[in-house]
Chain A
């Protein structure tokens, strides 16, 4: 069973066009407060968690099919080279194949120790960032925009590794800002660090 969760503080109607276009027969849920990110310590989209029949996590949060090829995009034409495009699609296909392999044969499910070892560690700073983000979203949604922005900025300062916190706040400020010049500046500042750490399949 696929469960797709939109981390979308603008609400269901903002996500609806993508959901309707997907014509999916699985659950498409709306997470305005980024609760899932709080529960599972997620930092970006798309991320996935594999959960077995008994409700146990068999693969902790990981990048779900995306790659860093976008970092070499031509920003004027918004295009990738043919080679990068092919590699990107191949990586996505490999991840999809791994998911299908798990469903049909159990392959790629991690033993408990390995799953535990790959869990992201939550710090008190991250916990505070989540609380400030929650408060910021509420303030924003209730007309206290400047104050909400301040709380969300502090959340990003406390948890700089979370792209979701920063990009959602940017999007609430203005649709499109999450992928604008400031985003690219932050991506460039990563240097050799990945934006989408590849899953260890």
Chain B
């Protein structure tokens, strides 16, 4: 199994030759669905080059790179990270909608920014270092 880290999750997926995987796994990892038009999410489809499609499999590294997202791997290529595309992050911020997130509190209880809708939120970072 290959470990794939995405901005919000971790996945253990059967892959070959990099990040070739089944369309179902590709959808679970990326949130994009393989359709005849390409990889699709909501009303957007990204056409894929035929060389990145096989019999019931898709090259997710090639797709993610085409999307503009960084694809990096460990030396043994057993752990990969797919980063958020810069354009996607910029577009989200320029809309000024505060990106939602869920993080645990110190006792492990998950908390989401969206739970605070209707209140002003002063969101601040700190660190022990």
* A interface with B by C-beta (< 8 Å): 1-8, 10, 12, 14-16, 18-19, 27-31, 35-42, 45-57, 60, 64, 99, 102-103, 112, 115-116, 119, 121-124, 126-128, 130-132, 134-135, 138-139, 144, 147, 151, 164, 167-168, 170-171, 175, 178-179
Contacts and interface: CB of A to CB of B under 8 A. Distances in A.
B79 A5 contact: no
A122 B5 contact: no
A133 B97 CA distance: 25
A3 B82 contact: no
Which of A18, A128, A139 gathers the greatest number of chain B CB atoms within 10 Å? A128
A78 B120 CA distance: 37
Interface in B1-47: 3, 5, 7-8, 10
Contacts of A130: 7, 70, 83-84
6 contacts: A29-B104, A40-B99, A53-B120, A55-B117, A128-B83, A170-B129
Interface range, B side = 35 or more
B125 A51 contact: no
Interface of B: 3, 5, 7-8, 10, 68-75, 79-86, 89-90, 93-94, 96-99, 101, 103-108, 111, 113-114, 116-129
A48 B123 contact: yes
B11 to A, nearest CB: 12
A35 B101 contact: yes
5 residue pairs, one from A and one from B, having the closest CB atoms: A131-B83, A171-B129, A178-B129, A128-B70, A135-B81
